[in-house]
Chains A and B, each alone.
Chain A
């Protein structure tokens, strides 16, 4: 049942983008942010709130820009390498961040990301300062397409990745390691007494979450065609937490539902009125008060009733 629902949603997105190509850019960005929010949601399972994940989002987009400048001009290779860059940074940062909990973890992530942001903005010679760097259109299987065609390809690729990566993350969360991750939130003492190394469980999760944010960042960089320090600004990190909570952390689709919801709401709201923040604020209040499992929780509850 849930699989049918998810498949229907994906087909609908593809059809929507086909019928209204102007939506493709918005949807690509939504999926990109969905990946990053999924990264945040993975850590939320352990009760850890990162207010710094936009750093990995940005790092990967900068990675794509640098790699392109170094002559790597293949979409697949760019995506894979940029994700590896963010995963590597995630593993390094994570190795000391996962020792912290609660507010300390949140603030340290924020602090590290702010340092990263400042470096991106100040190291003009390397990063192009606040102007950022271009992320040129790469070749797809050796063919360089015109911009509109490339953007379509990028959208459909993102959609496909959303399904594939989503399934992999779902498997991970359902595995012993994934359950151990949620168990960190419940009882670290018991985990230790089961002989499970909590830091390793968290470091793996942190690296995965950084890679997910990186995948989102690489897609966003390619979609926008440019990366700027604002990718890493703390408000962007806060936005990812917002998406994760809004969409719900009960399952993988939550992050994407949250991202699609906010991006579509955003594009609707800015054309109608400038009361975007008001809309978002009220939506968040409603979700937290009445739907603690997020928007995705609505689908899960239906599932439980029907099975």
Chain B
């Protein structure tokens, strides 16, 4: 396999003695759609926090294209083409849906023009296209705090996509999204990822989603990797079935 885009090596993190990462290593390669599953509180979100510079591990390192980014800020890492959608959506809740999108698009190109308006026809079209992709075209001009939880998740994902990342980290993209909207969302997401050649890592609780879409699965448990492989291999593992799939 080629050199990984993102590699985390020998990560160790603990919160008040609880080990969220205990010497684990992961790597994600170009074009993968890597799923991370594992029980609640096993450290999956923490892993994303480390990979994006939000928290620093006690030891271990994170490499992006082979360069050490362990001590970089989330901002610096974002500028290197890594975008993140959060487990709890992180939105500009007082702003309209479209403004959330356009600010993300502007962050990529024109933030420093203080005189031209945020809203240009071009940017608006681009924002609308992404909103349509995730199924939010009906909510364009709503204030984002008034969106139902599921739609807030969708907006958070669309905002991450607006950054045109090379690598997208998704923290439970389908949680809070209704069962009816779940598969359409995943289909749209997959086609966007393929079209834009985005590599992605996603933490997921819905095993049907994982089985259907993941190119590889990594089972995280108590800060360690319990199993790893294609979905069918991993779901065939008795230990995984008992500890993880059963609980999920």
Interface residues of A, Cβ cutoff 8 Å to B:
168, 171-172, 174-180, 182-183, 185-187, 189-190, 192-197, 204
Chain B residues with CB below 8 A from A195, complex form: 75-76, 78-79, 107-108, 163
* Cα–Cα, bound, A269→B163 (Å): 55
* Chain B residues within CB distance 8 Å of chain A: 52, 73-76, 78-79, 83-84, 90-95, 99, 102-104, 106-108, 110-119, 159, 163
Would you mind naming 30 contact pairs between A and B with Cβ atoms under 8 Å apart? A171-B115, A171-B117, A172-B114, A174-B118, A175-B115, A175-B116, A176-B118, A177-B112, A179-B118, A180-B111, A182-B94, A185-B94, A186-B92, A186-B93, A186-B94, A186-B95, A187-B92, A189-B90, A190-B90, A190-B159, A192-B75, A193-B52, A194-B78, A194-B103, A194-B107, A194-B159, A194-B163, A195-B79, A196-B75, A197-B75
Residues of chain A within 8 A (CB-CB) of B159 are: 190, 194
Within the complex, what minimum Cβ distance (angstroms) separates B146 from chain A? 14
Q: Is the CB of B111 within 8 A of A177?
A: yes
> How far, in angstroms, from A171 to B114 measured CA to CA in the complex?
8
If the complex has contacts A190-B92, A193-B78, A196-B75, are A175 and B103 also in contact, measured as CB distance less than 8 A? no
**B216 CB, nearest partner CB in chain A, Å:** 25
Further pairs besides A171-B115, A187-B91: 18, Cβ < 8 Å? A172-B115, A175-B116, A176-B107, A176-B112, A177-B111, A177-B113, A177-B114, A179-B95, A179-B103, A179-B118, A182-B94, A183-B103, A185-B94, A192-B75, A192-B78, A193-B78, A195-B75, A195-B78
Interfacial chain B residues near A183, Cβ < 8 Å: 92, 95, 103
Q: What CA separation (Å) do A197 and B78 show in the bound complex?
A: 11
CB-based closest 3 A-B pairs: A176-B106, A195-B78, A186-B92
A180, A182, A194: residue with the most chain B Cβ atoms closer than 10 Å: A194
In the assembled complex, which residues on chain A have CB atoms less than 8 Å from the CB atom of B111?
176-177, 180, 196
Q: Which residues of A contact B112 (CB under 8 A)?
A: 176-177
Q: Of residues A172, A175, A196, which shows the largest number of chain B Cβ atoms within 10 Å of its Cβ?
A: A175
- Decide if B92 touches A176 in the complex (CB within 8 Å): no
Q: Chain B contacts of A186 at CB under 8 A? A: 91-95
CB-defined contacts of B75 to chain A, threshold 8 Å: 192-193, 195-197
- A186–B113 alpha-carbon span in the complex (Å): 21
Q: Nearest residue in A to B76 (C-beta to C-beta)?
A: A195
Is A175 within 8 A of B91, CB to CB? no
B84 cross-chain contacts in A, Cβ below 8 A: 193
Q: Are A193 and B74 in contact (CB under 8 A)?
A: yes
Residues of B within 8 A of A189 (CB): 74, 90
CB distance from A122 to the nearest CB of B (A): 39
Q: Check A176–B78 contact: CB distance below 8 A.
A: no
Contacts of B117 in A (CB 8 A): 171, 174-175
CB distance from A103 to the nearest CB of B (A): 21
Q: How far is the CB of A163 from chain B (nearest CB, A)?
A: 17
Q: Roughly how many angstroms separate A177 CA and B116 CA in the complex, as a whole number? A: 10
| A186 CA / B95 CA spacing, docked (Å) | 8
A182 & B114 in contact (Cβ 8 Å cutoff): no
